[in-house]
Amino acid sequence: MRIRPPAQALAAGALVVVSACSDRTEPTAPDSPPTSTSLQPAHQGTGDDPVALARQVPGFGGFFLDDQGIPVIYLKSSAQRGNAERALAPYLRAEGFSPAQLRVLPARNEWVQLESWLPRVSSAALAAQGAVFVDADEANNTVTIGLERGALSRIRGIVAGLGIPMSAIAFKEAEPIRRVATLRNRVRPVVGGLQINFPGFLCSLGFNALRNSQRSFITASHCTNVQGGVEATPYYQALQSVTPTKIATEVSDPMYLTGGGCPAGKRCRFSDAARASYTAGTTSTLGRIAKTTGPNNNSITISGALSITAEGTAAVGQTVGKIGRTTGWTTGKVTNTCVNVLVGGTNLGLFCQNLVSAKVAGGDSGSPVFKGSSNVTLVGILWGSNSAGTQYVYSPMSGIERELGALTTF
């Protein structure tokens, strides 16, 4: 959901003291699509993604961090532990683990099987009323279907007809995922995490980026006048009523498409993300996110800045943070990765999104999501939550750059 801005201006707050980026190109025209329009679902990411690294191990069934933060891997045979340690060595070293800390659990299903079943289960289940998400679930070694209360028998019956072993399917009650849209003062140079205002609504600015040398910021696709498609949405910071000078214009927001792996009756994308290009008169700083006084303390007071020093991914069980205009800096653990999600109350679906157990509220849409607490690794942008505000959904960087093109973020 998006929220409308308050009628009264907010008091001025602290400014983040950082240098401005020197490139001030005025936006001229929307981007050309950076990738093909194919909607075939993608596998998990690559590079620092432990699931991608471990995929080469015979009998691999999933990787996650347990409740104590210990790395865990599912293997068909414990004899493959050595191969798993070698494959995961780059990730384990980067995260401060030793190979000896890797815990092995017996796998019932191989990861290649789960990934092969995922598109079939996703297309069938997400076309049914009451489905919320479908995930190749690395923490449970199953294809897990999130569904609303009362939908179990209906969706179980649909899945039972797919010819996939029901022992490989898990069902989990879940609340519908809804879009989130409502720090709040004028800040220059503009950095990530701040309140932005577009006609009638409030959201959060995700992060600054260069696209073909054009100074830009990334926010949620639904934080535009029309979700999907470019209609030159104007943006203001913090409020048009307070600072009426436009800071940026929407230039890239791919259309939601049908076909491919998209469920019947739905339109799909890989990210809820759009790009806006800064005006020449607006200063911005690349690689900075406004920092509040601390995580999970309800503060929206700016007390400095986080520095983006890398882009990456997050594994199940890892802690990530977000900073948004409504709830500030909140942290929590990733509970699911590369989940195919339906947006409640719409006909929209998103492939390969990540779920996080953390506080969120209206207006936080577009918030940057990151690992770390000072020099941070950017992992995506937040766009939705459950109704209780205890779980949020974010689009990973891989999906964002797949649709918006390669971005320089620091």
Domains, the chain, with CATH or none: 178-404 (2.40.10.10)
Q: How far from each other are the two terminal CA atoms of the chain, in whole angstroms?
A: 30
Q: What is the pLDDT of residue 45?
A: 47
Q: What is the pLDDT of residue 228?
A: 97
- Residue-wise pLDDT for 355-397, tens only, equals 999 999 999 999 999 999 999 999 999 999 999 999 999 999 9
Q: What is the pLDDT of residue 260?
A: 87
Q: 96, exposed or middle or buried, with CB in 10 Å at 0-12, 13-18, 19+?
A: exposed
> Is the pLDDT score of 14 beyond 60?
no
Structure confidence at residue 43 as a pLDDT band (50, 70, 90): low
- Residue-wise pLDDT for 179-189, tens only, equals 875 489 999 99
Of 256-265, 275-284, 318-327, the least confident: 256-265
Phi and psi torsions of 119, nearest 5°: -60, -40
For 271-297, b/e burial (b = at least 16 CB within 10 A) is bbbbbbbbbeebbbbbbbbbbbeebee
Q: What is the pLDDT of residue 40?
A: 60
> Is the pLDDT score of 15 beyond 90?
no
**Higher-confidence residue: 136 or 11?**
136
Give mean pLDDT, residues 111-115: 95
Structure confidence at residue 193 as a pLDDT band (50, 70, 90): very high
Cis before 42 (ω within 30): no
- Give the three-class secondary structure for 125: helix
Q: What is the pLDDT of residue 178?
A: 85
Give mean pLDDT, residues 281-293: 97
> Is the pLDDT score of 406 beyond 50?
yes
> Is the pLDDT score of 27 beyond 50?
no
Of 29-38, 62-71, 136-145, the least confident: 29-38
> Is the pLDDT score of 202 beyond 70?
yes
Q: What is the pLDDT of residue 181?
A: 56
> Is the pLDDT score of 170 beyond 60?
yes
**What is the average pLDDT value for the chain, to the nearest integer?**
89
Q: What is the pLDDT of residue 26?
A: 32
Q: What is the pLDDT of residue 38?
A: 62
% of residues, the chain, pLDDT over 90 = 83
Who's near 95: CB < 8 A, 6+ residues apart?
A: 71
Structure confidence at residue 336 as a pLDDT band (50, 70, 90): very high
How many other CB atoms are there within 10 angstroms of residue 406's CB atom?
11
Q: What is the pLDDT of residue 49?
A: 85
> Is the pLDDT score of 70 beyond 90?
yes
Global confidence as pTM = 0.84
Structure confidence at residue 39 as a pLDDT band (50, 70, 90): low
Who's near 31: CB < 8 A, 6+ residues apart?
A: 211, 230, 251, 252, 275, 404, 405
Who's near 245: CB < 8 A, 6+ residues apart?
A: 236, 279, 281, 282
> Is the pLDDT score of 148 beyond 60?
yes
Q: What is the pLDDT of residue 13?
A: 23
Give mean pLDDT, residues 220-225: 97
Q: What is the pLDDT of residue 408?
A: 98
Length of the chain: 410
Q: What is the pLDDT of residue 179?
A: 81
